[in-house]
Amino acid sequence: MRNYSLETQCVQGTYKPASGQPRVLPIVQSTTYQYYDSDDMADLFDLKSAEHMYSRISNPTVTEFENKMALLEGGVGAVAASSGQAATTLAILNICNAGDHIIAASTIYGGTFNLLGVTLKKFGIEVTFVDPEATLKEIAAAGRGSTKAVFGETIGNPGLNILDFEKFGKVAKILDVPFIVDNTLATPVLCKPFEHGVDIIIHSATKYTDGHATSVGGIVIDGGSFNWDNGKFPELVEPDPSYHGISYSKDFGPAAYITKARVQLLRDFGMTLSPFSAFLFHLGLETLHLRMERHCENAFNLAKFLESHPGVQWVNYPFLESHKTYDTARKYLKGGSGILTFGIKGGAQAGKELVKHLDLTALVVHLGDLRTSILHPASTTHRQLTEEQQIKAGVSPDLIRVSVGIENIEDIMADFDHAITQVTKNI
């Protein structure tokens, strides 16, 4: 494919029908693929052929979604998964065993914080959470001989701090381990992490990729940039006994990591994306560039509006000059994305109360939907963390998170104006 701009890639992607074939990506709702000859099938089992064998491992519709995401992010390959959480699990277990260690920013999404800090710990994988504003030296000091990855989020959820790619990338380079980034909230429209030293990208496709709140899914994308043959990742270099002796790095070159993720871990764990969900994500990507533009514009305007509202105490949005990582945001992002947080007069109680007075804006756990929605994390998504952990994760008790949709901005502002005035008028 020629070197088209991102907008064109969003619309047309990699899917190219042959003459007489459907213009729109078909849903191949088949678990199974027929072969005429056992030798052809044997080549599949030896990984000599890239044809489909069984839909736990690959499927034509899922492959098109993977190829489009790899194109948009600029990676060498991708593996879709049944959720964002499954994608993160896959990305880490592909290179970490019991006894290994990860360095992660403390401001990551609550679900990932739990996965790394609680669940993977039970598998013997240790994590050190670091303050992303700590110095390079302090973060690098968390490294151990067993460290296998450095992990962060482009836009922390819900703290909205922007990752200092340069600093975290340097830590990964010093430790000679891959730099893994969750790019869910930014999307490739706003930030291309592979251009900033990242080796592996993760998305929860459930959010902006889908954009319409229809499906749960995730994806791991390999930048193909990391040299696995450095003595730390023998499983990517030495022969794999479960594929009679292939070496991922020797046989698949820059696609070593993503090939192993598919043929070993997707095969064994089976956290596979369904073809129907892949179809919806692929459809969602066709308008991603347009939606992100409007999400950014509306969120910025709502943030400005809230900043000037007498009932509002504080507003946090990456593209507001008052934001603590504003300079980093301007350096790495084309827009501030669609998420903002704020606190109103009356604190946590007023925050909970606010929801009842909103009409257009719905209370949901989700974000990245084209409909405006709201959440009070301290009483919901982050309730399993201690207050100290909540604050570390950027969640104060009064914090309200808004996922600003693509409706008319005047209507959105009027909705918030009415609700905030109702709740704060007697304070």
Ligand X SMILES: *Cc1c(COP(=O)(O)O)cnc(C)c1O
Contacts with ligand X, residue ranges (CB under 6 A): 83-85, 109, 111-112, 153, 157, 182, 184-185, 204, 206-207, 216, 218
Closest to ligand X by CB, 182 or 240: 182
Closest to ligand X by CB, 57 or 213: 213
Cis before 377 (ω within 30)? no
Residue with nearest beta carbon to ligand X:
84
CB of 83 to ligand X, least distance (A): 3
CB of 78 to ligand X, least distance (A): 15
Closest to ligand X by CB, 175 or 399: 399
Closest to ligand X by CB, 44 or 370: 370
CB of 185 to ligand X, least distance (A): 6
Q: What is the rounded distance in angstroms from the CA atom of residue 222 to the CA atom of residue 255?
A: 7
Q: Does residue 394 come out as left (phi exceeding 0), alpha (psi in the -120 to 50 range) or beta?
A: left
Closest to ligand X by CB, 80 or 303: 80
Q: What is the rounded distance in angstroms from the CA atom of residue 142 to the CA atom of residue 128?
A: 7
CB of 106 to ligand X, least distance (A): 14
Closest to ligand X by CB, 93 or 256: 93
CB of 263 to ligand X, least distance (A): 23
Closest to ligand X by CB, 75 or 143: 75
CB of 38 to ligand X, least distance (A): 39
CB of 85 to ligand X, least distance (A): 4
